Structure formats: structure tokens, C-alpha cells
Amino acid sequence: SFSQNAEQRIHPESEQTVHDVRERRHATERPPPSAPSTPSQSFNQERTCPICLAGAEFAIETNCGHLFCGECMVTYWRHGRWLGTIRCPVCRQQVTLMLKNFTSDENRLQSPQKDQVIQEVNHYNRRFSGQPIPWMDYIRDLPTILRHCFRHFFSVGGLLLMFRIRILVCFLVALLYLISPFDIIPEAVFGILGLLDDFFILLLLAIYISIIYRRFVANQATGAS
């Protein structure tokens, strides 16, 4: 996804706002890094922010899967529609969730800039992650949401036990349904329709897991405030 991110293009409807944000970012020099040169800085060069056109610092990934500097995205929100959700500068999809995508070095780094980005992202998620969105947006967001969800699920620190239990129960229920002979539409009778029935159940499971994760991120933001 990093190589794709380098090829991101700003949507024409977002160009003026992005231009204004870029001017604001360039007018204020970025704070010097705490270390002369770190692996994270060279790695950030592979993760280009399409707003400032530099390496993404304290990167934020939107629910639609596009990567930006945390500070650029916060400025884009504050400069644009501060009272409501913003639309992604690249694809114009509604941004209902901002997900931290820091490098390992950035996670270890202590800096006011990082703390400010986390605070603003938590504030955004707390306000907007619970808003109703069209079902098609749930489906479009699945690759990004599920990737972050399972990254946290199998992390060393892990998520809350109740979150893990809910995900496991979902999988077990879906598995029991798939191996059960009592399908809504049995494959032996209806062939391809039966397979589509199973696919539909899996899709509903994935959407439900993404909804659980959205709520978890919103609860984390509330607890961090």
C-alpha cells in the first residue's frame, strides 16, 4: 500500500483547500527531529503525503485507505469543515475514522508534535466515528478497517479481552453456519445460489467486525480525552 500511496493524486474538488493547507504548512517550518537521522525518517520517504508532498510524518490513514501526515490532515480538517466530517482529499469519500499509522520509531518517540496529532485525531474520531454511513461505504472501508483490526488483534499488547471474545464468537458462529447442513439456501439444491448465500454471510460478518472496531476506536478516543 505504501507504493500505491506514493502515486496518490489530489481530487480536483480538493485542490484549492489542499493548496491553502500546503501554503500554511510550508510557511511554518517543521520542528527539527530529536535525533540527527533515524530509520523512520528514511522510511517516511517511501510514504509520501499528497498534501505537503513530503515524507509522511506521524502518518494518519483514513477509513478509505489513503495516507497523510497527521498534521496535514488535522490542518485540512480545521481549515475546511471543522464543524463536520471532511471528505478525503484524494477520493472524496467521507472520512469517518482516522487511524494512526506511525512507524516503530515514531511510536517510541516522545514529542509535542506527536502528542498534538494524537489529541486531534482522538477528538475527530470521538465526534464523527459513530455517524451513520451508507452500506456501500462500509464495504469500501473493509480492507483498511479489517487490516488495522487484525493488526491490533494479534499485537503483543492486544485489544481488550471483550473485543477479542466478540470477534471470536462472530467467527465461530459463521463457521458453524458454513459447515451446517441447514443453510438458508442449500448448495446441493441451488448450486451457485447456495455459494452466494455463504459469501453474503461472510460479507455481513466482515462488516459487523468493522463496526465493532469503529466503536472500539471511538471508545479509545473518549478514554484518552
Q: Decide if 117 contacts 74 (C-beta within 8 A).
A: yes
pLDDT tens track for 58-77: 999 999 999 999 999 999 99
3-state SS, one letter per residue, for 69-124? EHHHHHHHHHHCCCCCCCECCCCCCECCCEEECCCHHHHHCCCHHHHHHHHHHHHH
The full set of domain ranges for the chain reads 2-133, 136-224
- Span 196-219, mean pLDDT? 78
Using the predicted structure, report yes or no on whether residue 175 has a pLDDT greater than 70: yes
Cβ-based neighbour number of residue 110 at 10 Å: 7
Q: Decide if 1 contacts 59 (C-beta within 8 A).
A: no
Euclidean distance between CA atoms 121 and 96, whole angstroms: 11
pLDDT tens track for 74-132: 999 988 766 788 999 999 999 999 999 999 899 889 999 999 999 999 999 988 887 77
Cβ-based neighbour number of residue 53 at 10 Å: 13
The CATH number corresponding to 2-133 among 3.40.710.10, 3.30.2090.10, 3.30.565.10, 3.30.40.10 equals: 3.30.40.10
Question: 92, 117, 89: which is closest to 19 by C-alpha?
Answer: 89
pLDDT tens track for 132-166: 788 888 888 989 988 888 777 666 555 555 566 66
